[in-house]
Structure 1
Amino acid sequence: PSMDDDDFRRGKPTNHKVFGEAMAILTGDGLLNLAFETMSSHIVNSSKTLEDYKRSTKAMAEISKYSGVYGMIGGQVVDLLSSSDHIEESTLLFMYKMKTAALIQSSIVAGAILGGASEEDINILRDFGLKLGLAYQIRDDLLDRKEDSKIDKLTYIRHYNKDRAKNEVEDLSNEAKSLLGRLKDLDTSFLEQLTHDLINRKV
């Protein structure tokens, strides 16, 4: 296929294996457009005040940024152009930041904006999403290392040993939890549990 060589994800056949590459690409295009249709419809139909409009459009702008060339799409470009045999750690982590972490950051930051969080708290949550996203991706590499090795996939495990990857996940998750501790007078129990669940998940 054009980008993803995995035949299975989470134990189930991938989209392109079941429906073909063309349908998989069209499905991705359709879902991406549906996301923006859903967000813009919410802004038009649910905003009651000027503040509602401001928050909703700001949240949509964040999601647009993180899903576009400065986020997930840009990260995928780096992935396609990079060689698994000649890639520096900084490039690999940049790719993870743009692909996986951007997805998590967009969700967290958009929620914070819609909830009326202060700029200071939004920036803390942005950093939290980055740490959590990187930890999530490296944990994903650990879970998928056998399948990834068969197709020579570009991963953290491809360059470093399993123990280093485990330590990196632990360090990043601890940094994420520390950031949550800076959110004064806010209930962060859900995000703390989310962090625990994501980095300790099993296949």
Structure 2
Amino acid sequence: MGTKELIEEAEESAKEDLQRQAAILEAQVNILKDQNHEFEEATINLQKIAQGQQREIEAAARLDGKNGAKQRVVLRCRWNEKHSDWEVAIHRSLQLISMKVSACTEKDFRNLIVEDLPTRVHILGRMESTTEGGDSRRGNLAVDFRPILLVVQEAAVLKGDLVWMPWQVVETIPCGLLGGEHCKKGMPLVAWLPTVVSATCASLFEEKLMGESCAMGILDAKT
């Protein structure tokens, strides 16, 4: 085989090799496009959630007071070191923990949810917008329906049928399941909750990354 033929064969082999590499790159690009499309859809959904208005929380709390449900959402959260994620305590039926407003004390939390004391306490929402109006002239105090988020240690053991579930999973659960019987009674306490949990856990996650220690919270037993 002459020099010319060898050169042509080498060029043809190089051309075929480039074509194979181009085909591989094209396939990889198509995969990335598909993944990016899925990511964009997920991002749009998250943006819709993130753009939820504060007034939804306020309206839900006001309706809770008017329909006589007298229930308050109680969120127990913990940091799962193994999975590097926040988890929320929830019933096996996928219903959120809710308690009578009159029973939202630390003693009740320890008896019904988990024995461990919280390392941090968050009251979600604005006080002036999430209460059932009272009349101080008659000695009646406004009832606070704001959800309570309690952060506990990872080793905390839940009671009853409660289980730990990643908060990303919780925010995908339909509101009808999260609210259980309360939704059937017209208690819209969970329509806005994924946004609240997401924002709160994201904030806690940032603090975790920054290495900030969790300050000990003190829960006021008064409701």
- In the superposition, the TM-score normalised over structure 2's length comes to 0.26
Name the structure where strand makes up a greater proportion of residues: 2
Name the structure where helix makes up a greater proportion of residues: 1
RCO greater where, 1 or 2, for CA within 8 Å and sep 6 or more? 2
Which structure has the greater CA radius of gyration? Answer: 2
